[in-house]
Structure 1
Amino acid sequence: MKEPRIETLAAKKLVGHSLEMSLSNNRTVELWSGFMPLKRHITNVIGSDLYSVQVYEAMPDANFGPHTEFEKWATVEVDAYETYAENFQTLDLPEGLYAVFIHKGPSSEFKSTMNFIYGEWLPNSDYHLDHRPSFEVLGAKYKNNHPDSEEEVWIPVKLK
């Protein structure tokens, strides 16, 4: 895996669905299968990218494990918040510095990307993890579970 690009993200307004889960109680399929058929009801979407966002109550640390609960979101970006039906919720993604990695391959290989980011790159970089949401951008090259799939992995960082 290669070095990330470091990018300052402008604040974004996201709309979608969320579920509480952990790695051992992974409800990602349930989340996305509930969101995708309804996202057409969001009429002020910016672009075609999907955002898979993880929100942690506390910063992930050495105690993070398979049973650590977090809130996962299936979202799209909008230009402004409106009144939404279908149990849509809003999420403000704050401005900040991110390390952006490319995950290539099926989701079954995502763990190796995360192991590289948190186990190799972050400890040896000039950055600390910052307490903001992390997320994946599922763009034009994303092909759900396909070996040629690509997605961007955005990790919130700040200089050491």
Structure 2
Amino acid sequence: MEKHKRDCTTEPRFEQGRFQLIAGFGARFTEDTAQDIPLLWEKFLPWLGKVPGQKDEVTYGVCCNPDGKGGFEYIAGVEISRLDDLPEQYRWIEIQPGHYAVFEHKGPLKQLPDTFQYIWNEWLPHSGHEAADLPEFERYSEDFNPRTGQGTLEIWIPLKPS
């Protein structure tokens, strides 16, 4: 696992996250069905740039609404400025301000699950921090190319105040 850390992620930086409205396409997943998340992205990408109130080209993958049995909702989306004209086909979530550990994923997207395993099973238990019960999210910068998987990808993990 130590080799994985060097290859796929950096040590985190800590940031105070801001309020954000994220809207896009969403679905429920489990550990067994999480490999289908890229299909959700394929459905959403043609809508990129067409979401009412979209602020920029940065995309987000938000994990939220866990059911306590390993299930969660995942929203592939963008930041928006308003909800008032958002069509019903979109799911949306508010990201509240909070303290986050921010990891940069390096490497192909197919290794993203390994990076999450490192964060949750190696880094967090030994970090002295505790995860907050808030949405975690992936932030794909404007330079990220979803077709090639190249560009900047960050994982934002919410932390309880220390």
Q: Structure 2-normalised TM-score? A: 0.83
Instruction: Report what 1:41 is aligned to.
Output: 50
- 1:9-158 residue pairs with structure 2 within 5 A? 9-26=17-34, 27-57=36-66, 68-85=70-87, 87-144=89-146, 146=148, 148-158=150-160
Q: Deviations over 1:21-75 (max 9, x none)?
A: 112113312211221212333232122100000014257xxxx7xxx21100011
Question: What amino acid is aligned across from residue 16 of structure 2 in structure 1?
Answer: T
Q: Deviations over 1:97-146 (max 9, x none)?
A: 11000001111111221122112211111210110011100113423374
Size of the aligned set, in residue pairs, is 153
Greater helix share, 1 or 2? 2
Q: Structure 1-normalised TM-score? A: 0.84
How well do the aligned residues superpose, as a CA RMSD in angstroms?
2.1
2:99 and 2:161 in contact (8 A); partners too: no
1:46 and 1:79 in contact (8 A); partners too: yes
2:15 and 2:100 in contact (8 A); partners too: yes
Residue 38 of structure 2 aligns to a residue in which SS?
helix
